[in-house]
Structure 1
Amino acid sequence: MRRITRTGLRSVGLLVAAGAFCAVAVVPAAATEPVTSWQPELSEGTGPGVVVDDGGARFDPATAVGAPVEDGDAEASADPVEVVPTGLLTLEPHTLDAPTREVRSELVSDTPSGSSATIDVRGRKASGGWTEWIPAENDRTELPEAAREVQGRLVLTATEDARPTVREVTLSATPTTETETGPLTEAAARSYSVFATREGLVGGTTANGHKIVPRDRFVALPSRRALSGKGKTDYSVKVCAPNGRCAIAPVWDIGPWNTKDDYWNPSSQREMWKDLQQGVPQAAAARNGHNGGKDQFGRRVANPAGIDLGDGIFWDVLGLKDNSQVQVDYLWTGSQKLSAVRIGDEPDTDILARPEAGAESVGIAVNTTEVPVQCTHGDGDGGFVRIGDGQYLPTSVLGGLPTDLPGCDAGDAPADPAGDPADPAGDPADPADGPAVPGDAPAGEPGEPAAGDAPAGDSTGPTAAPEDATVAPAGGTPAAGTDDAPGSAPGSAPGSAPDGAPGSAPDGAPGSAPDGAPGSVPDGAPGSVPDGAPQAGAPIPGSAQRAPSGVR
């Protein structure tokens, strides 16, 4: 975007004065397409690392979050990654009279050497959700589809005493002849099988300014393009473990490993790594030698992770005990009907296995996330909505439903997924139970002592996964590491630590989920932990080895 510094403003004034004396020599410019310009009020913006006063939007080191330096030669980057404090200020959205696909930006700013001030832009889609945040390039942002509502987000970075200030932002939208009509048929969200690691880092700060608490319920993806604001759920995913349990949770952090790897987008649209197949995280490709086996910062990639899971999602909701392959739906990428979860002050609500009261929980949906709604069972607040195969929510927990949502076909409710009650966990030796999932071993014998939760971020370095390790694909999409996913890599992190190792937590410890609590794993369900056994797994090697996105 165009930056006008103090020197630049002085130059503009001189040019205007010169024009007054030479007006007769000026040739009128050709007529241009009309544009709509506006200046967002900086004082109405929100986000970490920026304070606004009479002087403008100033970088604030006290509340800034950490992000890796993204300039220079990645091969020469240090390990651990050098971190630059970053501030994000999300501005108020602006509604246009006509739709646009092109937004130009101009910043009046002071950017001392070693600092920067840039802007991301997004637009409201016809389906109601937002496009991803698109960084402006050469003063210009091209939106992926026509939009009447546009929003900007300032990105300020600083090093040492070089602190930027933005005094004014001007955005200009060029009208388009395209309409805002949605697709003729609904398209499901993009869905890929990727390797998941545990976020940990309790007490740290995420890239959107959220303070990580024990058993937190959010995820991290390796691109700022899909980062929700603090407390917001604009960008959410549905992540499902091999045991069938799922969580719908917001994206509140950036990582693992990379910060410009929007691998869920078509290769031509990826911010980096356009040579990789869509759906393949760069970290997975690096395990097969891509970029010399390193991430964008020159670090040797120790696991093929494409998503980090908050501890509450990893342990309590999905019942994972080790890094694992998971199936991820990137919910903002589809055009299917969405409805927001509205449950007051409750943090989340259970996803039920059948459309009936008292059905067992097969996961959770975090409050205010927008979930895909397919059809209805029953009428009014006593009815249910199907959000996936064998996944239902009561109508009463949703803020509203599309008026054209059809009824579900009779008999579409699946059979009880718990299977034979005499063998709830399945026999590991029985081939009918499917392939074993690395890290899904029993957590220990009941009654064994367990140490308290380890401090966040206490890993000292990446631990390479065994080259011969394999993971079970989740869902129908080829798993990373199969021949069907070029550039991906096999391998999981080493197995869970011995019982009682640091990082495990006894039942009833602070932050643990009580039996029967929303989102807890039912006794005997796949992936559940035996009564009395440690509820939490040990620290996952490599799980904290991600591009730092907060103050750790």
Structure 2
Amino acid sequence: MVRTSKLGRRRGARTAVALSAPIALLLAAAPVNAAPAPGGQWTVPLSSVDDNDLNVRYAGDALALADPHWKRRPDQPVSEGYLVVGERALGKPANRITAELAADVPAGAAVDVDVRGHLGGEDWTEWTPAAAEPAVLSASVTTVQVRIGLFAQDPAAAPSVSSVRLTADEGPQARAEAAAARTYKVYATREGLVGGTTANGHVIKSRDHFVALPSGRSLAPKNTGNYSVRVCRTDNSRCEYAPVWDVGPWNTKDDYWNPSSQRQMWKDLPQGKPEAQAAYQDGYNGGKDEFGRKPANPAGIDLADGTFWDGLKLTDNSWVNVSYLWTGSGPSGTVKTAGDPMNVRASGSTTAAIKGLAAHNAKVLIECYVEGETVTGTYGTSNIWNRIGTGHYISDTYVYTGSDAPIAPKCA
């Protein structure tokens, strides 16, 4: 086995993210609050608005939209803004977070408070709403993050928030079981919108590599891949591993990959079926999305141009197989290149057939490893290749795992 030290793999400050709101928000590295929340209660610092937040301002006594007229997409029926608060250390493990807020919410406006829990490394629970009822996280955690979303249909009737108080405690915990990532066949559309801004604040570039899902629960912070997918042609001839950096298409609270009982909306739909698909094909909800629009297609995922054209080599909107990788368990790592996506190979060699792409910042599940061609990459030189899917291999020198040694077993 050939291997040299992977400088830079030592873990630094974690990247923060905020709660799940009906579209999404901007994120970037945020420090962990030094003092644990006393008694499991704390007040959100609404004045902590900075360049990592999206279209919000603190006006001395309340959080409000900076520009109530601004819309992320031309066809979007509401204006939006987000405050993502730094990570909060808890005094003891908790899996249930309750939010109490003081806010002015006119008719047609909304305020969302979402939280997520840090599972270790770069892993987090999904963003979970905490205002209408307590947010029950998928595991007990000692660090959480909060996201506050503001939404207005009428710029003259925008909401404002003067106080948010959170309480963390321990409730019944379901037993965690090892599982493969959930995979569903859904309709994909090309996002385009080059020069526009995604829900997490990323400015879309030509032939970009990311995806959008119709729920803020899976929105990765800017320049991270906490939530990533594997999206493949239906014959699995081409795939791309890409981060979730935007919210859409059509809906913003449709986490259709979750069990029906856990879905934020549309709980009477079967797991794996997007609401837009049900509305388009079956006339569900009067044939309309959450905003009262009639979907022009059954899309359950948007693909950035590079993912669409280069990763999958699609020429038109199409049905695809999508694996929601954060729903799986096991060893994982984050793809780190100079910025461009890397080739996914059919075996541990740079001459093996190309099976698709893995985007910079995409988080991948590592099934096992093989010894193959020696490669020099972001983290040194090694002959270790990670299998990240059936017949999918990438050099370990481009994967941040927090360890110089393989973190998965050797492939049989």
Same fold by TM-score greater than 0.5 = yes
State the SS of the aligned residue for 2:321.
strand
Match of 2:55 in 1: 49
SS at match of 2:308: helix
How many angstroms does 1:37 deviate by? Answer: 1.3
Per-residue Cα deviation, 1:43-74 (whole angstroms, up to 9, x for no partner): 1663211134654533211895447xxxxxxx
The alpha-carbon deviation at position 376 of structure 1 amounts to 1.3
Aligned residue in 2 for 1:39: 43
Partner of 2:345: 352
The one-character-per-residue Cα deviations of 1:72-91 (angstroms, maximum 9, x if unpaired) are xxxxxxxx967221001111
Q: Which has the larger displacement, 330-339 or 252-261?
A: 252-261
Q: Residue 282 of structure 1 aligns to which amino acid in structure 2?
A: E
Instruction: Give SS of 1:382's match.
Output: strand
Structure-2 change in CA distance of 1:58 and 1:285 (3 Å): closer
Q: Does 1:226 align with 2:218?
A: yes
CA distance change for structure 1 residues 190 and 82 in 2, over 3 Å: closer, same or farther? Answer: closer
Pick from 44, 48, 66 the counterpart of residue 60 of structure 1: 66
1:300–1:275 Cα change, 3 Å: same
Work out the CA distance in 2 between the residues paired with 1:339 and 1:63: 39
Corresponding residue number in structure 1 for 2:307:
313
Alpha carbons of structure 1 residues 346 and 212: separation in structure 2 relative to 1, 3 Å: closer
Deviates more, 1:166-175 or 1:306-315: 166-175
Q: Greater relative contact order: 1 or 2 (C-alpha under 8 angstroms, separation 6 or more)?
A: 2
1:364-400 CA distance string (max 9 Å, x none): 2122221110111128722211111111010110122
Q: Indicate whether 1:88 and 2:82 are aligned.
A: yes
Any residues of structure 2 matched to 1:429-448 within 5 Å, and which? none
Question: Could you tell me how far 1:92 is from its partner in structure 2?
Answer: 0.8
Contact 1:44 1:92 in 2 (8 A): no
- Give the corresponding residue for 1:130: 124
Any idea what SS the aligned residue of 1:320 has?
coil
What residue is the counterpart of 1:205 in the other structure? Answer: 197
Greater mean alpha carbon deviation, residues 312-321 or residues 102-111: 102-111
Quick one: which of 268, 271, 283 aligns to 2:264? Answer: 271
SS at match of 2:306: helix
Q: How does 1:451-470 map to 2 (within 5 A)?
A: none
Q: 2:167 aligns with which of 165, 172, 175?
A: 172
Alignment partner of 1:285: what SS?
Answer: helix
* Letter of the structure 2 residue corresponding to residue 221 of structure 1: L
CA distance in 2, matches of 1:394, 1:161: 53
Q: Which residue of 2 aligns with 1:395?
A: 396
CA distance in 2, matches of 1:405, 1:163: 50
CA distance in 2, matches of 1:394, 1:240: 20
Structure-to-structure mapping, 1:11-50, within 5 angstroms? 35-42=39-46, 43=48, 46-50=52-56
Cα contact 2:68–2:155 (8 A) shared by 1: no
Aligned mates of 2:100, 2:287 — CA distance in 1? 39
Separation in structure 1 between the aligned mates of residue 350 and residue 201 of structure 2, nearest angstrom:
37
Structure whose CA Rg is larger = 1
Instruction: Report how far residue 285 of structure 1 moved.
Output: 2.1
2:100, 2:131 within 8 Å by CA — same for their partners in 1? no
Which ranges of structure 1 fall in alignment gaps of 5 or more residues?
1-33, 68-79, 410-552
Matched with 2:228 is 236
Question: What is the CA–CA distance in structure 2 between the aligned matches of 1:62 and 1:281, rounded to whole Å?
Answer: 29
Take 2:141 and 2:134, find their aligned partners in 1: how far apart are those partners? 15
Aligned-residue Cα RMSD (Å) equals 2.8
C-alpha separation between the residues in 1 aligned to 2:77 and 2:276?
Answer: 20
Residue 247 (1) aligns with residue 253 (2)? no
Task: Report the alpha carbon displacement of residue 193 of structure 1 after superposing the two structures with TM.
Answer: 1.1
Question: Of the candidates 276, 293, 298, which is equivalent to residue 292 of structure 2?
Answer: 298
Aligned 8 A contact 2:371 2:383 in 1: yes
2:331 matches 1:331: no
1-side partners of 2:283 and 2:162: how far apart? 45
- Provide the rounded CA distance (Å) in 1 between the counterparts of 2:300 and 2:173: 35
> Matched residue of 2:78: which SS?
strand
Q: One-letter code of the match for 1:381? A: S
Tell me if structure 2 keeps the 8 A contact 1:40–1:92: no
Cα contact 2:260–2:268 (8 A) shared by 1: yes
- What aligned pairs does 1:382-531 form with structure 2 within 5 A after superposition? 382-400=383-401, 404-409=407-412
Per-residue Cα deviation, 1:492-524 (whole angstroms, up to 9, x for no partner): xxxxxxxxxxxxxxxxxxxxxxxxxxxxxxxxx
Q: Could you tell me which of 347, 353, 361 is aligned with 1:368?
A: 361
Q: 1:85 to 1:301 in 2, by over 3 A?
A: closer
Q: Where in structure 2 are the equivalents of 1:69-88 lying within 5 Å?
A: 83-88=77-82
TM-score, normalisation: structure 2:
0.79
Equivalent residues, number = 360
Equivalents in 2 of 1:58, 1:154: separation in Å?
A: 11
| Higher mean C-alpha displacement, 369-378 vs 252-261 | 252-261
Partner of 1:160: 155
- Give the CA deviation at 1:299: 2.7
**Residue 195, structure 1, aligned to residue 201, structure 2:** no
Q: Is the 8 A contact 1:94 1:150 kept in 2?
A: yes
In the TM superposition, residue 38 of structure 1 has moved relative to its aligned partner by: 2.2
Match status 1:342 vs 2:336: yes
How far apart in 2 are the matches of 1:155 and 1:84? Answer: 12
Alpha-carbon distance in structure 2 between the residues aligned to 1:291 and 1:403 = 49
2:209·2:306 contact (CA, 8 Å) conserved in 1?
yes
Instruction: Return the offset for 1:162.
Output: 3.4
Between the aligned partners of 1:97 and 1:111, the Cα distance in structure 2 is 32
Counterparts of 2:199 and 2:343, CA distance in 1: 27
Q: Helix, strand or coil: the match of 1:316? A: helix
- Checking the alignment, whether the CA contact within 8 Å between 2:229 and 2:242 is kept in structure 1 is yes
- Percent identity of the aligned residues? 44
Range that drifts further, 129-138 or 114-123: 114-123
Question: Closer, same or farther in 2 for the Cα pair 1:315/1:280, shift >3 Å?
Answer: same
Contact 1:65–1:209 (CA under 8 A) maintained in structure 2: no
Question: How has the CA–CA distance of structure 1 residues 182 and 127 changed in structure 2, closer, same or farther, with 3 Å as cutoff?
Answer: farther
Q: Distance in 2 between matches of 1:177 and 1:255?
A: 33
